[in-house]
Amino acid sequence: MTHARIGRKIPPGFSLDVDFAIGPGVTAISGPTGAGKTLLLALLAGIERPDSGRILLQDAILFDAASGVNVPARHRDCAYIGPAEALFPHMTLRQNLLFAARRRPRLERHRKTGEMLERFQLTAAAGERPREIAAGERLRGEVARALAAEPKLLLADDRGWSEPLVNQMRAAAGCPILLVTDDFDLCCAAANELAILSAGRIAQRGTPRQVLERPESLDVARITGIPNLFAATIGALDPGHNRSRLEIENFSLEGPYIRGHFRGDRVWVAIRPENVRVLAGDVAARPGLIGVELLRAVPRWRSVRLEFSHGIFADVAHEEFARRKDNKSWLVEFPPEALIVL
């Protein structure tokens, strides 16, 4: 079992307090800056010391505040890729890898080093110093070096991970990987699990799609990039028709029935911008349509993000926007099934 329960205070004001098991495969960690992602990795690696808690790696105790056990970093078998580049600048790439594989017998060490260099397409650059090779090669070199030590856990801070590299990492590592990244596409593609860290706490965890589709708190909704967040009062609840009425400052919405709440409760309503339905101005009025004013249209790679009054954001396809650009009045509609009530 690999499990970490860690408490650490950093005055003034910040405290990290997490309790989670690390499963096999890739566990992604996301969160805003200052959430404690880097600190969490440093605590697991043994670079920093927790104030309280207990860290187990494959049932071996690495840290236990109660009994005062604190295994030093060099005996932890946790490879660590920090937030900044740390290939030794005075050694060639091959020497860097040999440094990591040092505890193995000579032949085995050279075999492992050669294998890792080949796996990460670094054979040509093996004789070069880090400053003489490209940044991408340096990053791959650091991953290769970390894995040449044959760790029991790989800790990888956010270094702009790309999907192919993470897949290579997965294939080459015979151990769980803890990966810090803010790229949710990458999480869905390559991670088995996603944990959202916010202000030193794990706000939510689950499979990446679970977390992204069903955020459980306002914080997670914000961190996963939902701009449409509204404070609402429940105006009516109708379990029979699976309906509810949500009163928001300037408009009201039809929503699905909300379990565990009463009329008059304050809740947060979130909806992804791609789920907001945008209609041209000359549609017959019907309940649920909200008249809005277009404030800004920001083009993006796959869609245009429309910024309406009342803090409503909607993503529409480029062609669709091109057709309706000259609209005088705009209407938006929130499909009840796409509403997320927090």
Partner 1 sequence: MLWFSLRVAGVATAAALAVGPWLAWLLARKQFAWKAALAALLGAALFVPPPVICYYFLCVLERRGSFTWQAAGAAAALASVPLMVWAGRAAFTRLDARYANAARTLGASEWRVFWVVELPLAYRPMLLAAGLAGGRVLAETLATLAIASRLKP
Q: Which of 339, 196, 329 is nearest to 257 (CA)?
A: 339
CB of 25 to partner 1, least distance (A): 21
Contact between 225 and partner 1 (CB under 8 A)?
no
Residues 98-127 interacting with partner 1 (rule: CB under 8 A)? 99-100, 102-103
- The stretch near partner 1 (CB under 8 A) out of 85-93, 114-122, 245-253, 276-284 is 85-93
Tokens of 161: 């991970």
Tokens matching residue 341? 């009530």
Q: Which is nearer to partner 1, 46 or 50 (CB)?
A: 46
Q: Distance between CA atoms of 177 and 335, rounded to whole angstroms?
A: 38
DSSP secondary structure string for all residues of 92-148: -HHHHHHHHTTTS-HHHHHHHHHHHHHHTT-GGGTTS-GGGS-HHHHHHHHHHHHHH
CA distance 226 to 176: 30
* Distance in angstroms (rounded) separating the CA atoms of residues 83 and 33: 12
Write down the least CB distance from residue 35 to partner 1, Å: 21
Q: For partner 1, which residue of 23, 24, 58, 88 counts as binding (CB under 8 A)?
A: 88
Which among 144, 145, 175, 138 is positioned nearest to 160, based on CA atoms? 138
In whole angstroms, the minimum distance from the beta carbon of 148 to partner 1 comes to 8
- Binding piece for partner 1, criterion CB under 8 A, among 58-66, 95-103, 298-306, 327-335: 95-103
Residue 286 CA: distances (Å) to CA of 235, 310, 333 = 19, 19, 10
Residue 79 is a binding residue for partner 1 (CB under 8 A): yes
Select from 76, 112, 138, 140 the one that contacts partner 1 (CB under 8 A). Answer: 76
Give DSSP secondary structure letters for 261-293.
--TT-EEEEEE-GGGSEEEETTSPP-TTEEEE-
Closest CB to partner 1 among residues 18, 42: 42
User: Contact 228/271 with Cβ under 8 angstroms?
Assistant: yes
* Window contacting partner 1 (CB under 8 A); options: 51-59, 72-80, 178-186, 301-309: 72-80
Between 166 and 205, how does the x/- string for binding to partner 1 read (CB under 8 A)?
----------------------------------------
Q: Which long-range contacts (CB under 8 A, 24 or more apart) does 173-178 make?
A: 173/147, 174/150, 175/151, 176/2, 176/22, 176/23, 176/24, 176/25, 176/26, 176/27, 177/25, 177/26, 177/27, 177/153, 178/22, 178/27, 178/29, 178/41, 178/44, 178/153, 178/154
| Site for partner 1 contains 149 (CB under 8 A) | yes
- The nearer residue to partner 1, 151 or 215, going by C-beta atoms, is 151
In angstroms, give the least distance from the CB of 82 to partner 1: 5
Q: Is 71 in contact with 129 (CB distance < 8 Å)? A: no
Nearer to partner 1, 88 or 320 (CB): 88
Q: Does 4 bind partner 1 (CB under 8 A)?
A: no
Instruction: Closer to partner 1 by CB, 29 or 246: give it.
Output: 29
Which lies closer to partner 1 via its Cβ, residue 135 or residue 298?
Answer: 135
Sketch the per residue contact string, 21 through 60, with partner 1: x for CB under 8 A, - otherwise: ---------------------x--xxx-------------
Of residues 56 and 73, the one with the C-beta less far from partner 1? 73
Cβ proximity to partner 1, 6 vs 232, nearer residue: 6
The residues binding partner 1 (CB under 8 A) are 42, 45-47, 72-80, 82, 84, 86, 88-90, 99-100, 102-103, 145-146, 149
